[in-house]
Amino acid sequence: HKNLPRLLDAFKILSTNYQLPTTHLVLVCPRDVFTERLQKEIKSRNLENTVELKGYQTAKNLSRLFQQASAYVFPSLSEGFGIPGLNAMAAGLPVVCSNIPVLKEVYSDAVLYFDPTNPKDIAQKIKNLLTNPTTKSDLVEKGKIQAQKYSWLKMAMETLKVYEEVV
């Protein structure tokens, strides 16, 4: 449901059809069960030199990766809420993601959406973000504002309020 094979297809299109300097894709996949399959997917597309597969990352290392990144790409086909994209927004990364209903509800207009079933659309949206500084800076600003709408404390307070109303 994370749709990584289509992201790899999109990255192959991006690296083949668009001359973007030093573009790399870093996949953070904390579940070892997927690592072997992803390595095969990467190799089958001849992307070993431009795609890096990382395992579990501590919060500190993930923060470092966010600081080094140009964008956060979230190609998921199904999500419960979309916390990873909000984390990226809070860290100041522009987000490019699937146009699935839950992400549209949570992210509003703070991201650039793509059709997650269409690798060409995914590649085009990533290219647009990487080559358009105005789009990138607009999304960073909107993302910071959007991420501030959500917090664990706010959720806990609202949940407590519901419990108090019921009792």
Q: Where are the alpha helices (DSSP H) in 45-151?
A: 59-68, 83-90, 101-107, 119-131, 133-147
Looking at residue 32, its pLDDT comes to 72
pTM, full prediction: 0.89
Q: Are strands 51-54 and 72-74 parallel, antiparallel or unpaired?
A: unpaired
Per-residue pLDDT band for 98 (boundaries 50, 70, 90) equals: very high
Higher pLDDT, 156 or 20: 156
Looking at residue 103, its pLDDT comes to 97
Higher pLDDT, 93 or 36: 93
Distance CA 72, CA 84 (A): 9
Give bridge partners of residue 25 from the DSSP assignment: 51
pLDDT digits (tens, 9 = 90+) for 57-79: 888 998 899 999 999 999 999 99
